[in-house]
Structure 1
Amino acid sequence: MPASFLGSALRGTFFLAFGLWWSVRYPLKYLNRKGAVEGQPGRGRAELFEGAVKAFFALVGILVEQFVPSGPHLQLYSPKTHSWTDLTHWHYSTIYLFFLLSGITDVVSHSPLKLPPGLERLSLTLALLVEVSFANTGDAVLDQHLHSLLVMAIFAGALCAFLEVFLQDHIILETFRTSTFLLQGSWLWQIGFVLSPPWGGPGWDDSDSSNLLFLTMCFCWHYIGALVVVATNAVASRCFCPTLLELVTSKQTSQLGVSVFLLGCPFVCSRTA
């Protein structure tokens, strides 16, 4: 059973939002490390915010999957029909559940209850692997082809996240993971348009083999678009970050000057007296 357009769009928006956020955040973090201002107070606020947003999005996804009019409403097995209830909604709820756990791990990892380094990336890896395990569920050839391409994006992101467990703050891995999230998000939107068009009517012709070839090319174009977004935001960060660093440095210098002045005033006054 193909997913609905709204379901695909919701999941795609989740990954696009994080991909866009990371495409700005990671270049700035890298440049800040080079500028030696990473130790500023509030460094962990971005991670806390990111984890909270991830957990919120995942919780909303679970509630939507469960309580839409056609949803199971938390009923897994129907005693009347002696059969499982809406397993499609349940399997998407399971995916969201693991991303909810990943968001909670992000928050706890950067709270006073310090968790081992890399645990937040490990939880993200598990969430992506769970998503991979549910990716190919359709019977139609077109559905399977679309989701097999999606699996490539998911698995690439999971591999990056797993490597980041051991290679933390690695800008190449962070950038590649960002591109895979952008690809996954845009491709989920593409899946929605192909299988369940929002304007109604049937999806693309499953018997036309040229559709498979076109969608394979389209998948590559989606990734090129993701790389363009990452590169554009990286260049923009490189252009604007020196100004931000200069402001931070000048602010630190002025604060240091004020502190020295205040500390030196009593000494000067005593010598004058």
Structure 2
Amino acid sequence: MANFGGHAIPGTFFLFYGFWLVVKHNIQHYWRTRQPKGRQVTPPFFKKMEYFEGGLQIFASFVGIMVEQFVVDGPHARLYNREETSWVKLMNWQHSTMYLFFGISGIAMIACALSKNVPAGVDRLTISLALFVEGFLFYFHVHGRKPLDAHIHTLLLVAVFGGSASSMLEVFVSNNFILELTRAGLFILQGSWFYQIGFVLYPLNGDVWDLELHDNLMFVTMCFCWHLAVALLLVASTSSTVWLTMTRCSKKGRDIEIGMRDASSKSSIQKGLLEQSDEE
């Protein structure tokens, strides 16, 4: 949609999804580093996380498509108007197509978790394809627009194509913690930048930006770098929080296990002494 809400909806999804990836991959990496060599049995909890992530993608994609198609001024599933001989709301159709491929990615993720017959890496391949389609659509989305409008959308392509490339690398290099966090950070960057696009093109306070002023292009470019720095900071702080939480939980679990072992050993010693006294 050509308004602030049309950019806030995907921005919110990408922000939430990026934070979810940071938490998920930190938990998985913590578990992998604590496993003995040669023993890599996937716990059932990890499959539940895949189901949740895939279901989230499908749900968010469905909601996005419905919003784009059936808002008051939407195309209402009409692609071409024969009476006026013109296309109907192609911008909404482009956004719907973007959501469609993220829904396909969610289906592939659930299929990979459900069946071992699905080749490994299909889930990462489809998310890479979804990001590529998003970038491909946005690349031809801004032709003929004013300089600032085109430039602020072009900067988004850095995060989109970067995420697509890192996801494609994960197809061939699985369980690489750096690549996983890179993809998560680029999703966070993409989400925050969607909000920035909305604030620039559809300001809530009514102060309209000059879309042809070169200084505004310079500021927006610098602002993108700030968004990148904030995304890195958020990934680092979230990872640290998850890591500390997992470490404390594992220590408490070990203390409980040791206490149970000590209690059982003491009870066995007492039982042996009682049996010995009965024999005497």
Fold agreement, TM-score > 0.5: yes
1:127 aligns with 2:130: yes
For structure 2, which runs of at least 5 residues remain unmatched after alignment?
266-277
Q: Percent identity?
A: 39
Residue 16 of structure 1: aligned partner: 15
Q: CA contact under 8 A between 1:35 and 1:245: conserved in structure 2?
A: no
- For residues 148 and 3 of structure 2, the distance between their equivalents in structure 1, rounded to whole angstroms, comes to 15
State the 1:34 CA deviation: 1.1
- Number of equivalences: 267
- For residues 230 and 254 of structure 1, the distance between their equivalents in structure 2, rounded to whole angstroms, comes to 36
For structure 1, which runs of at least 5 residues remain unmatched after alignment?
261-271
Matches within 5 A, 1:61-140: 61-112=64-115, 114-136=117-139, 137-138=141-142, 139-140=145-146
CA RMSD of aligned residues (A): 2.8
Residue 176 of structure 1: aligned partner: 182
- For residues 108 and 250 of structure 1, the distance between their equivalents in structure 2, rounded to whole angstroms, comes to 38
- For residues 145 and 161 of structure 1, the distance between their equivalents in structure 2, rounded to whole angstroms, comes to 25
Q: Quick one: structure 1 residues 83 and 153, their matched pair in 2 at CA, closer, same or farther if it must change by over 3 Å?
A: same
Q: Quick one: structure 1 residues 24 and 89, their matched pair in 2 at CA, closer, same or farther if it must change by over 3 Å?
A: same
Amino acid at match of 1:152: V
- For residues 165 and 27 of structure 1, the distance between their equivalents in structure 2, rounded to whole angstroms, comes to 19
Q: CA contact under 8 A between 2:98 and 2:133: conserved in structure 1?
A: yes
Query: In structure 1, the residue corresponding to 2:114 is in which secondary structure?
Result: coil
- For residues 259 and 46 of structure 2, the distance between their equivalents in structure 1, rounded to whole angstroms, comes to 21
- For residues 172 and 148 of structure 1, the distance between their equivalents in structure 2, rounded to whole angstroms, comes to 26
Q: Quick one: structure 1 residues 73 and 240, their matched pair in 2 at CA, closer, same or farther if it must change by over 3 Å?
A: same
- For residues 145 and 196 of structure 1, the distance between their equivalents in structure 2, rounded to whole angstroms, comes to 15
Residue 148 of structure 2: aligned partner: 142
Q: Report which of the two structures shows the higher radius of gyration computed on alpha carbons.
A: 2
Q: Quick one: structure 1 residues 73 and 34, their matched pair in 2 at CA, closer, same or farther if it must change by over 3 Å?
A: same
Residue 268 of structure 1: aligned partner: none
1:213-242, Cα deviation, whole Å (9 max, x unpaired)? 011110000000000001101111222221
TM-score by length of 2: 0.86
State the 1:206 CA deviation: 1.3
- For residues 108 and 71 of structure 2, the distance between their equivalents in structure 1, rounded to whole angstroms, comes to 28
Query: In structure 2, the residue corresponding to 1:134 is in which secondary structure?
Result: helix
Matches within 5 A, 1:147-226: 147-200=153-206, 203-226=208-231
State the 1:247 CA deviation: 4.0
Q: CA contact under 8 A between 2:146 and 2:212: conserved in structure 1?
A: no
Q: Quick one: structure 1 residues 211 and 229, their matched pair in 2 at CA, closer, same or farther if it must change by over 3 Å?
A: same
Query: In structure 2, the residue corresponding to 1:91 is in which secondary structure?
Result: helix
